[in-house]
Chains A and B, each alone.
Chain A
Amino acid sequence: MPSQLFVSIVEIGCFFALIALGYLIVLYGAGFFHFALGPYAMFSALGAAYWVTASEWPLWVAVVAGVAAAVALSVVTELLVVRPIEKRVRGEELPSLIAVVATLFAVSQLAGTVFGRKPFPGQPWMDFEDPIEWGEAVIGGQTVIIVGVTLAIFILLAAWLRWSRYGQWLRAVGENQEAARTLGFPVARIRLAAFAVGGLIAGIAGPLFSPKAGVNFESGLSYSLFGFIALVMGGTGSIWAPLAGGLILAALQIAASYLFGSPSLNYATLIAAALFFAFRPEGLFARRVRH
């Protein structure tokens, strides 16, 4: 494969990894797959692109606004949709799943209504005068930014989970909410923190990656799907697992479309997901329980 493709694998892999990390945080804190994370990333990316081109805001203001919108959407989803429904159905999974799928659709439609239904190119955060040459490949400024920001987010999140009070409590709540409530953990607030952090990560991931592939109001669904598959591939046993999952999925997609043409990207994803779900649903990095 041409070495430029490896650069693409890293870029796309980082993006999938961030969405998967968002899933993981919400999963830890609320025991719940937050399918609407993809549309939050899309909303943030589309919003930032729209505000820069149509409203002529400075890039960083637009990006901050987009990220804030993603966090707000995620928090609102927990408060107005997920929490009331979980309270009503008590333990049945399907109603929450349907509700979050409905949220996915609603956020996409909201973005289409507010920002319009045409695709936007993303705005790069940084450009080099002279791109780095690496063999035959050329590494541009945005690539460096993507890798740097992704690693920074992963390191910060690992530190947050390990050393902050809420981070430490997160897993206790996700594992068993009833027990955590009995022990006096502020369950509602911890869940809310998980949704906010999930929205924050997705909100950053969107405008970070959109300069590479553009964005439109329907991008959210594939973001959600690919992020979820990256999460399942990596497993939920380690905070770093999403990074592995994202890179593997990206490598698979790029290799498939290079070798067999672009339609096989979707076929390969389907086959890989089906195989992983069937034979290794716990992912590559599962938590081992010692006997």
Chain B
Amino acid sequence: MRQGGSAWVEPIVTLALAIAAMAAVHGSPYLEAVALLTCTYAFIALGMYLPFIMGGALSMAYNAYLGVGAYALALIAGRSDWDLAWSLPIGMLIAAATAVLLGFATRRLSGFYLAAVTLLFGIAFTTWLVDAESVTGGSGGLQGLRVPVFAGRPLSNSTLVMLTILAVWIVALALSRLRNSPFGVAVRARRRAAIAVESCGIPVSTLTLVSLGLGAAVSSVGGSLFAVANHAILPESFAVDLVFLCIFMPLLGGQDRPWGAVLGAILVVTFTFQLTFFKETGSLFFSLAVLLVLVIAPRGVLGYVLIGLQKLWKGTRGGETRHG
């Protein structure tokens, strides 16, 4: 995929897969629900991709950003007559602002210290969701959200699923492009050589804050989606355990590309919710799979699939030249 002239391969192949996914789940309410959950996870994983996988900063407060998106939608649904679509930009803005503030407060921290403080922030956020009853509805959450209107009609679940899969495709593709842009290259260089990046005249702290803000905004979309899909939200849906699943998604799927985060989300939902064979032990198998990937297969599932495809591609091309 990296060779010149194949700039169209990535969008076309992935769009084809996205359309195939839409067709596969269409008509089955159960599969549609599974697809929506997968997309929620995919949004968080994609949100983490930029600051975490590319930038190397393990900021873990993503449950809070997801919660911001969800509560933005729920509050607009319950306390205003605005179009629910407004919750997307509002949620994204609040989540990005929260992430930038938290990032600014923790700008000198890295590694374990950053992970610990951001985890505590995530825990404090869920505590606040239960505590601030007048705003968030407390432990009962916010129930009975109205159905959003799309093109003059109430949004059906099937349409929501299609729009969502399309949105995941757009975000992942945008991130993939961003990865190879000058901004993306600087973010990735920061992970290993922050001082070198700084000495090129790029302010590393601003770079980090921007990537944290963008990532939080993407994750909050997942939150809004979650609220729409369930017509209700509960504070425990945004507990910190969620963050663990989300850190592991891009690792399991493959760190080299944002598509790995999407693949990771699909794997997680399959492992933990889908396979009745695994039942309660799904998360155990999932965590062992992650450890296995970390220790012996650091490129993740997608990484090895791509290597295989590239070998195949080179093999056929080699064959052609010999014939010609």
**Chain B neighbourhood of A273, CB < 8 A:** 116-117, 120
Q: How far is the CA of A222 from the CA of B116 in the complex (A)?
A: 10
CA A103 to CA B294, docked complex, whole Å: 11
A182 within 8 A of B: no
A78 at the binding interface (Cβ < 8 Å): no
Binds A, one of B203-211, B261-269, B283-291: B283-291
- The residue on B at minimum CB distance from A116 is B280
When the two chains form their complex, are residues B291 and A99 in contact, meaning their CB atoms are under 8 A apart? yes
Beyond A97-B58, A218-B241, A225-B120, whether A85 also contacts B127 by CB under 8 A is no
- Nearest CB of B to A108, in Å: 8
| Complex CA–CA separation, A232 to B120 (angstroms) | 14
- CB distance A85 to B120 under 8 Å? no
> Is the beta-carbon distance between B295 and A81 smaller than 8 angstroms?
yes
Cβ < 8 Å to A, chain B residues 270-324: 280-281, 283-284, 286-288, 290-291, 294-296, 298
A229 lies within 8 A of chain B by Cβ? yes
Asked if B56 is at the interface of the complex by the 8 Å CB criterion, the answer is: yes
Chain A residues whose CB sits within 8 angstroms of the CB of B281 once the complex forms? 109, 113
Give every chain A residue within 8 A of B65 (Cβ-Cβ): none
A85 to B116, CA, bound (A): 21
Q: How far is the CA of A106 from the CA of B282 in the complex (A)?
A: 11
Q: Is A156 an interface residue (CB 8 A)?
A: no
Q: B119: CB under 8 A from chain A?
A: yes
Interface size class on chain B is: 35 or more
| Complex interface bits, A262-284 against B, C-beta within 8 A gives 1, otherwise 0 | 01001101100110011001000
B86 within 8 A of A: no
**The one of B130, B280, B290 that contacts A117, using a Cβ cutoff of 8 Å:** B280
- Which residues of the other chain, B, contact A80 by a CB distance below 8 angstroms? 295
| Residue A40 is within 8 A (CB to CB) of chain B in the complex | no
Interface size on A, residues (CB 8 A): 43
Say if the beta carbon of A165 comes within 8 Å of chain B. Answer: no
Q: Report the separation of the CA atoms of residues A274 and B120 in the bound assembly, to the nearest whole angstrom.
A: 9
Nearest-CB residue, chain B, relative to A23: B112
Question: Is A259 positioned at the interface, with any CB of B under 8 Å from its CB?
Answer: no
* Closest-CB distance, B126 to chain A (whole angstroms): 8
Task: Say whether A94 faces chain B, with CB atoms less than 8 Å apart.
Answer: yes
Q: Quick check: B116 and A229 within 8 Å, CB to CB?
A: yes
Interface flag for B26 (CB, 8 Å): no
Q: State in angstroms the CA–CA spacing of A35 and B116 once bound together.
A: 10
A-B contacts, CB under 8 A, total:
117
Q: Is the CB of A106 within 8 A of B291?
A: yes
User: Are B287 and A105 touching (Cβ within 8 A)?
Assistant: yes
A101 interface contact, C-beta 8 A: yes
A23: shortest Cβ distance to chain B, in Å? 10
Contact A266 B124 (CB under 8 A): yes
Minimum CB distance partner of A95 in chain B: B294
**Shortest Cβ distance from A103 into B: residue:** B291
Bound Cα distance A101, B112 (Å)? 10
Interface string of A62-99 (1 = CB under 8 A from B): 00000000000000000011001100100011110111
Question: Is A274 touching B117 in the complex (CB atoms < 8 A)?
Answer: yes
Q: Mark B113-151, 1 if CB is under 8 A from A, else 0.
A: 101110111011001101100000000000000000000
Measured in the bound complex, the distance between the Cα atoms of B116 and A277 in whole Å is 10
Interface of chain A residues 102 through 126 with chain B (CB within 8 A): 102-106, 109-110, 112-113, 117
At the interface, yes or no: A49 with Cβ under 8 Å from chain B?
no
Asked whether B244 lies within 8 Å of A85 as measured between CB atoms, the reply is no
Contacts A95-B294, A267-B124, A274-B105; is A110 near B113 (CB within 8 Å)?
no
Interface residues of B in 153-205 (CB under 8 A from A): 191-192
A102 touches B113 (CB 8 A): no
The answer to the question of A154 belonging to the interface, with a C-beta cut-off of 8 Å to chain B, is: no
B112 touches A33 (CB 8 A): yes
**Taking the complex as formed, is A221 at the interface, i.e. its CB lies under 8 A from any CB of chain B?**
yes
Asked if A267 and B280 sit within 8 Å, CB to CB, the answer is no
13 A/B residue pairs, CB under 8 Å, sorted by A: A81-B294, A93-B111, A94-B56, A94-B191, A95-B298, A98-B247, A266-B124, A269-B124, A270-B117, A270-B123, A273-B117, A274-B106, A278-B105
A interface residue numbers (CB < 8 A to B): 33, 35, 80-81, 84-85, 88, 92-95, 97-99, 101-106, 109-110, 112-113, 117, 218, 221-222, 225, 228-229, 232, 261, 263, 266-267, 269-270, 273-274, 277-278, 281
Contacts beyond the supplied A97-B111, A98-B58, A117-B280: 6 A-B pairs with Cβ under 8 Å: A81-B291, A94-B191, A95-B294, A109-B281, A229-B116, A274-B117
- What are the 6 tightest A-B residue pairs by CB atom distance, in nearest-first order? A106-B287, A263-B131, A109-B284, A270-B120, A33-B112, A266-B127
